[in-house]
Structure formats: structure tokens, C-alpha cells
Amino acid sequence: MVAQLQDKSENRTVGLLEINGHQNYENWNTMIGYHPRGNASWNTTVKGLFSLGSDFYEESAGIFLPSDHYGGLFEG
């Protein structure tokens, strides 16, 4: 689900995207540990919102970085 929320207190629009994170996965903390940028500030919420700064976009959310966990699944 993608939507917009009008924040009338600060007169700004905030884009919303439904995610499947800690609300839906029992082992979310373990799973986020597998992400190569799991400790990045943009992987945590503040008042229910992610703050996506320039580093999020510059690093493509870390999806192109190697993951030790998943890389280890394919080593012989």
C-alpha cells in the first residue's frame, strides 16, 4: 500500500509505504542483522516513520552490497 499523509501541524505531505518489518516477523532483529546496512539510521523508525536521507539513495538501500549471511549459504 502506498499513500500520502498530510501533516497539518507542519503543513507538509509525507509519503507512506506499508512495510513488512518488526510488526510482521517474529525474528525481525535477526533478519535485519543479515542486511549489510542493517545498522543504518534509515532502518529504524521514529514515530512510525523512516527518515530516508541522501545516504539511503546513494547506497541504494544497501541492496547491491554483499551480505555475509547470504553469501555464506552458497560457499562450498
Per-residue pLDDT tens digits for 21-67: 777 888 988 999 999 999 998 888 777 777 888 999 999 999 999 99
User: How many structural domains are present in the chain?
Assistant: 1
The kind and range of the H/E element at 5 are strand 2-7
Domain that includes residue 25, residue range? 2-72
Distance CA 30, CA 48 (A): 20
- Confirm whether pTM is higher than 0.85: no
User: Cell match 516477523: residue?
Assistant: 25
